[in-house]
Each structure stands twice: as C-alpha cells, then as structure tokens.
Structure 1
Amino acid sequence: MSIFSVFKCTVLSLGICLASCIPQPKANPNDQISNSKAEKKDVVVGANRTTSYVPLIKNKRVGIVANQTSVIFKTSGENSTYVHLVDSLLSLNMDIKKVFAPEHGFRGQADAGETVNDGLDEKTGLPIRSLHGKNRKPTAEQLRDLDVILFDIQDVGVRFYTYIATLQLVMEAAAEADIPVVVLDRPNPNAHYVDGPTMEAEHTSFLGMTEIPLVYGMTIGEYAKMLNEEGWLGADLKVELNIIELENYTHSSFYSLPIRPSPNLPNDTAINLYPSLGLFEGTNINAGRGTEFQFQRYGASFLDSTQYDFNYWPKPNFGSKYPKEEGKKVFGKDLSKHPKMSSFSLKWVMDAYRNSIDKSKFFNTSGFTRHAGNERLQQQIEAGLSEQEIKATWQEDLEAFKKIRKNYLIYD
C-alpha cells in the first residue's frame, strides 16, 4: 500500500576532454539535444556557482559523485562550451580523492543496467569507485578518507531513472559516516508536472526506492531535501546537507540539456516522452533502443502489422548492445515529432497491448511492476480499463504527495 494512501563537447581544462569520449550520432536535428534556446542561458546551474561551494570543500578531502553531465558552463548557445567539474576543481587544487560513478559510468558509456567497474580514470588518474557494480551504496571503507561528498548529476525527473536512487544511497552512507553532502542542483526537464502511479512499499527497488509518483516534479536538490527531512534515509538517519541552488529557474522554465544525460536519451523529445515510453522497459516491446530515436518510437514483431504504417529494425549501437527485437522488422509508431507533453500517458502502452497478436509475450511482469511501482497497473491494462479510469485510481495518492512535496520546493 502506498505511503500516501496511509499517510557537448568542448571541455577546457588542462587539455582534458572527458565528455567528448561519448560517441555522438551522425548529425541530425532529431538526434542531439538542442542547446540553442535563449532561455537556457538564463539558468545558472549549481556547478557554476563556485563561490558558493568551493569554501565548503576547500582544505578537505573530497569525494565526487559525477558523470559526463557534471560540467561548469563557460559559454551558452549553439556553440556552448564547458569544463568538467572534476577538471575545474583539480585546477583549483582541491583535494579530490575519488570519483563515484553511477549507472552508465563516469563517462556515460555503459548500457542501461550494465555493470560499471572500479578503476582509474586515464585522464586524471583519479580512482573510480562504481556505484553500479558490486555495491550501489558507498562502503564505509570507501568513505574513510573523505571529509565531504560533492554530488552533481543531471536528473530527468522520472522515478525509475536511477540517479535519484544513487543520491539516496550516497546520502544514507554519508549520514552513517557523519560526512556532509553538497548537492549541486540542476534543472529537471520534467519538473513542470506531477503524475503517474505512486510506488508501493512492497515493490521498492533500485528503480524506485521511495513511495513517490512516477513523475515527481522536483529538482534533484529539492528531492535531496525531501529524502533528508522525511526520514527516508533510514531510522534516525539525517545527513548534513547543503544545496547549491539554481539561479533564474522555475519549475516551468524551459531547459534543453546540452549533454545527453544517459546514452539513450539523445534529445529533448526523448526526455519528454521518457516517463510514458519508459514503461515499455517492463515489456517485450522495443522503445527505440538500437536506433537513433530512443524513446521516440516503439514497436515489436508481434504487433499487428495491419494496424501500423511505421516499421524499423533495431540493431546494436551505442548505448544498446542487445536491443529488444534485434534484427527483426518491428511494427509500431514514430513519435519523434510529438509535441511537448505536460502529463504522463498510458496511451502508447495500451495501444501496443491492444494490438499484440500474442498478448502472453507482452509483459515482463516483474520488470513492469518495478517500473510501474505496483501490480495493479498491469492488471488494469489487461482488464481493458480506459486511461481515464486508470488515472482516477492514483489521484488521491498524487494529491497527498503534492502536499508533502510543497514543503521542500526551492523554486516556484
């Protein structure tokens, strides 16, 4: 039962280019994240506010939780340039002891769910400690030589996007070790709404560790505050937390990510559709992995071809070594021109289920439950309920969450 039912790339610094190691698709306006929107340059990310956080880490032994998105912007617009946070802090002689790498790794090259290994960063020589391998929570031994943890990762505001789970486990470990955490806030491109089913306690996992809606409408800094103050780090655990806030930002601000946050979110459209098409991760339907239009299309060989005028062939590529329906002709829909959404939708999952020739092939039940946060959603789809009927069943939980969320919002 829900808790709310019960209560790019130019990197300038020492000639190091960390982000450029991420392969980019061939030039196509639909393939890369646009960063030409005028409003983006008005937003100042936490990482850029160095005078606010350098005093918090100066003369201290620092651990950084970071990936390819952890950058300080030097210029904005179409030819945006940036320097990686790690490079910048090293150039300032900060005592960086190690980097903790989340899912997809420090440079964002690993597939979804792929094990990330410990190692040494070839460019900086820093030790890399994986938080998506043998352990997902920093160990006491890994924290023993640290005085402070700096967390800077771009989130997209979807519960099953695992960076918020990493944040929670880092905060929990830091609280246990009595080490302060500094979160450099970044905009959430899906912060303009709250929607979707709420995670139920019995189904929590790395795809959702807290009982929040699928789309929770908070920046990662705001969410960190909620984790800390709501007691979600564990019994009697609370970390010394500093949020380096955004400037010139509201939840309705348009913000186009200049670096893809993970291999299969290549542009604004994919990020905006991700909450809704992400549910396909718990089915046997291909959601664009193995193409250059990840999370902008869906299809399967077992969908009724007479119902669709769009098809494609998934093939291994950057970010997807083994895509679903690999090498098969799949039938489905192209959503790459879909207008921006301000709500979560079930219509595409329901469409695919309705047009499955063999419905027994559709769901990966355990995976779908972990993504949805409950068993009920699959049952509702199988029973033929309308989207409106299904959405009505989670409204009470959404209202309860919004009341709690309101206490931790930093931005309008």
Structure 2
Amino acid sequence: MKFKNTFLLLFLLMISCGNSHVLQQDPEIMSKDVQDTIRKPVDKIVLGVDRTQDYISKLIDKKVAVVANQTSVIFKSDTSYTHLVDSLLNSKIQITKVFAPEHGFRGEADAGEHVKDGKDAKTGLPLISLYGSNKKPTKAQLADVDIVVFDIQDVGVRFYTYISTMHYVMEACAENNIPVLVFDRPNPNGSYIDGPTLEKEHRSFLGMHTIPLVHGMTIAEYANMINNEGWLSNGVQCDLEVVLMKKYSRNMEYSLPIRPSPNLPNDKSIELYPSLGFFEGTDINAGRGTEFQFQRYGAPFLDQEIFTFSYTPVPNFGAKDPKHNGELCFGEDLSEEPAPHKVELKWLIKTYKGTADKLKFFKSRSFTLHAGTEELRKQIEDGWTEKEIRATWQEGIEAFKSIRKKYLLYN
C-alpha cells in the first residue's frame, strides 16, 4: 500500500491516544502543502507522545523548550488531533520557545534551505532554527529553560539530519545541566541494518557517529546509545529520559501518518530513500521537482535507449530549484518497486556505467559525506560488483550490532 500523491486532504487517519488527556481538533497543524493522505498503521501503536499522563507531571511548573516539527502530533481519534506544542499549552505548560530542525517547525523548507528564527504565527512562541549556522542551542538560548522535550519523526537513515539535531540538543543540555525528555516514535526502516559504516574523518551533520547507513533503531534507542557510548563532546552525559511506545515491534509494518520532510511524501519514498539518497552526492536527479521524490531517478545525459523512462523536474513544494530544473531527464520509475529492505546499489552502479563523462558523475565531497566513506566511490569507479562492495560492509555492521543490542527497547 502507498499514499496517493494528492494535496489538500483534510482528514487524518491514525492511531488512538493511549491516555485520557482531552485533545481538540486542529486542522491548521501544518500548511495545506504539507498535508497528504494519511493512513492507519497495521496496529494501534501508542506513541511516546500519546502517553500524556506519564510525562505531564514532569513538565508542570517548569520552563519548557520543545524540539519539534510538523510530525510532532498527538491523535485522539481518526479525525481529532493536535500538535504537541498546542497540547502542552492547553495543559497550561509554560513553553518558552520552540527549536526547529531542518525544514522548519511546520516542515515547509527545502532540504538545505536556511531556516530563519522568528515567531510561530499560530502560538506566538519564539522559533529558533537548529539548522544552518546554529545547529546547537547556545547557552543564552537555554538560559530560560528548565527542561527540553524532543519529539520528531525519524526514518532511520544516517544522513537524515534529525538525529544530528538530537545529538546537538543533548550535548548542549548536558553542558548546561538541563534534562532532556525524548518521546519515542517508530522507525519505518527499523527492520534491518545495512550500508557502509561512517569513518570518523568524514563526520559531518550528514553523519556524526560511526554507524551503518541504516541503523535499525528508534529515536529513543538511538538517544540512549549516543548518551551512554560517550559520543557527546568531551564525553559529557545528558540527563536523559525517554517515553517509550506501547504495542510496537520493530518488524511490524508502519506507515508514517505525516510526511517527515517535504521530499519524503509516502511510504515508497521512505523505503527507497536509503538507496536513492546516494544520488544527492551525484549529478543524478532523485525525483526532486516531481510528485515522486525518491521514487524515480534520471538525468539528461543518460542513454535513453537504456533508460527509457523520462520526466522533467520543475520547481514545486520542497524543491524550489531541483537538479536539472526544466530539463528532460531519462532514467527509471521505481514507484512500483517492492520495498528492498536493504541498501540497493544497483541503481547507483547502473547510472555510473551509463554516464559518458564519468569525471562529472560524483560530487566527491558531497557523495563522501552521504556515504560516510571514500571507499564506495572508489569501488564503483574501479568496477566492483554490488556483491563485492556489500561484503566490505559486513565487519562494520557486525561491530555496530554488538553495541546496538545493549540499547534495544523493543522486540
């Protein structure tokens, strides 16, 4: 099953809340451009944020900062929902500010686009961007904060930057003796571990820790790993507490109710993102500028006798200036491709072989940061097969698994 790629759908389908907190419908939770078809998950998972009665007492009489975006939602029923920030305000919790990750608080900014500080139009709360030059909350920004709440939907891929934002939030709070409360959410790519392991010399906001590309952990499990493995600067440790989910298993099918970022509009894009994300470091368009982001790929220079599918990227929501804007691209449509449940290299290898001017294929620095290693580029340039490349990942994956198992909170 997959979402229909249509906008302006006003009724959300999702899970019931696992608590008695009264919620009110809020159809202005996000801009109409961000809204998309919403589906129920296979089971009625109780999210961490749903368990209001288990955490609200920790916030009473505290000055609270919230790290959130358009996915930070509490559902009471299929059509009754509210944003976490609005729910806390309704409960008379004193929120001093909202920290916003990449794409902003309402999820409207392009990937890599500068997100400005300002005020939320709905609540009047100060908004502080944690993307761009200010990735880590400053001491001054935390001066009027007693506790930080983090609730953002992740997709389980190392170069998806929300886990980097969480790292910096935890680090800043540890340095300023401020506790952090993380609400757990499912990982839609949580059933497997795969990909190259990050090398320390290629650490960046696209990958801060020596983990495989797909880590198979929930956001709370990952937070515990960051904290207890000494990955914060100078080995500082955060006063961290997590609110777990109920009725969740990492192997269950789970459909995200709201697109986690502008260019991941549906289940298929999220399933293919670990594989097609490599194209961000090449001259290949990965569907940005279409309604099938990360479900197709192409470029004007690919051989149309081999790559028979064609499309033309144009500016749209989430891509103001897509790669090969206005140019006819030849490539492949993957929108009906079965979920791979692994990092596929066949599309990357195929396009490299199909590119005449191979010196222009890789944007070396960008590709290395996405891959977390220089080896993948070299292996593809040297003609290694996918099987040969995958074999070189196994030592890093097994080493990570031995660490990961200490922090798993679900079956």
TM-score by length of 1: 0.93
1:144 Cα offset (Å): 0.5
Q: Hey, what's the Cα distance between the residues in 2 that align with 1:156 and 1:225?
A: 17
1:46 pairs with one of 34, 48, 51: 48
Per the alignment, residue 60 of structure 2 pairs with 58
Per the alignment, residue 101 of structure 1 pairs with 100
Map 1:298-337 to 2 at 5 A: 298-337=297-336
For residues 276-296 of structure 1, give each alpha carbon's deviation from its aligned partner in whole angstroms, at most 9, with x where no partner exists: 000000001000000000000
Distance 1:258 1:108, change over 3 A: same
Q: Hey, what's the Cα distance between the residues in 2 that align with 1:75 and 1:20?
A: 18
Partner amino acid for 1:140? K
Q: Hey, what's the Cα distance between the residues in 2 that align with 1:22 and 1:272?
A: 24
Higher helix share: 1
Distance 1:153 1:194, change over 3 A: same
Query: Contact 1:16–1:123 (CA<8 Å) still a contact in 2?
Result: no
Query: Contact 2:34–2:259 (CA<8 Å) still a contact in 1?
Result: no
Q: Hey, what's the Cα distance between the residues in 2 that align with 1:358 and 1:34?
A: 43
For residues 194-249 of structure 1, give each alpha carbon's deviation from its aligned partner in whole angstroms, at most 9, with x where no partner exists: 00000000000000011110000000000000000000012230011111001100
Distance 1:411 1:15, change over 3 A: closer
Partner amino acid for 2:77? T
1:19 matched to 2:29? The reply is yes
Per the alignment, residue 212 of structure 2 pairs with 213
Query: Contact 1:60–1:95 (CA<8 Å) still a contact in 2?
Result: yes
Local SS of the residue matching 1:141: coil
Local SS of the residue matching 1:344: coil
For residues 237-274 of structure 1, give each alpha carbon's deviation from its aligned partner in whole angstroms, at most 9, with x where no partner exists: 00111110011001101110110000000000000000
Q: Hey, what's the Cα distance between the residues in 2 that align with 1:46 and 1:159?
A: 22
Map 1:6-405 to 2 at 5 A: 9=10, 16-24=26-34, 32=36, 34-39=38-43, 42-76=44-78, 80-405=79-404
1:18 Cα offset (Å): 4.2
Query: Contact 1:270–1:294 (CA<8 Å) still a contact in 2?
Result: yes
Q: Hey, what's the Cα distance between the residues in 1 that align with 2:247 and 2:213?
A: 26
Local SS of the residue matching 1:96: strand
1:308 Cα offset (Å): 1.7
Per the alignment, residue 5 of structure 1 pairs with none
Local SS of the residue matching 1:353: helix
Local SS of the residue matching 1:398: helix
Per the alignment, residue 3 of structure 2 pairs with none
Q: Hey, what's the Cα distance between the residues in 1 that align with 2:281 and 2:76?
A: 39
Distance 1:21 1:94, change over 3 A: same
Distance 1:9 1:144, change over 3 A: farther
Local SS of the residue matching 1:306: coil
Q: Hey, what's the Cα distance between the residues in 1 that align with 2:381 and 2:198?
A: 20
Query: Contact 1:22–1:108 (CA<8 Å) still a contact in 2?
Result: no
Q: Hey, what's the Cα distance between the residues in 2 that align with 1:257 and 1:53?
A: 23
Partner amino acid for 2:30? S
Query: Contact 1:35–1:256 (CA<8 Å) still a contact in 2?
Result: yes
Q: Hey, what's the Cα distance between the residues in 2 that align with 1:15 and 1:339?
A: 36
Distance 1:195 1:37, change over 3 A: same
For residues 37-81 of structure 1, give each alpha carbon's deviation from its aligned partner in whole angstroms, at most 9, with x where no partner exists: 432xx21111100011111111100000000000001124xxx44
Query: Contact 2:178–2:239 (CA<8 Å) still a contact in 1?
Result: yes
Q: Hey, what's the Cα distance between the residues in 2 that align with 1:251 and 1:237?
A: 30
Query: Contact 2:25–2:81 (CA<8 Å) still a contact in 1?
Result: no
- 368-377 or 341-350, larger mean C-alpha shift: 341-350
Local SS of the residue matching 1:142: coil
Query: Contact 1:33–1:257 (CA<8 Å) still a contact in 2?
Result: no
TM-score by length of 2: 0.93
Q: What fraction of aligned residue pairs are identical, expressed as a percent?
A: 57
Local SS of the residue matching 1:243: strand
Query: Contact 1:44–1:248 (CA<8 Å) still a contact in 2?
Result: yes
Partner amino acid for 2:71? T
For residues 4-48 of structure 1, give each alpha carbon's deviation from its aligned partner in whole angstroms, at most 9, with x where no partner exists: xxxx756996775443314058xxxxxx55514432xx2111110
Partner amino acid for 2:31? C
Q: Could you list the runs of 5+ residues in structure 1 that have no partner in the other structure? A: 1-7, 26-31
Partner amino acid for 1:239? C
Q: Hey, what's the Cα distance between the residues in 2 that align with 1:286 and 1:335?
A: 13
Task: Calculate the aligned-residue CA RMSD, in Å.
Answer: 1.5
Query: Contact 2:23–2:80 (CA<8 Å) still a contact in 1?
Result: no
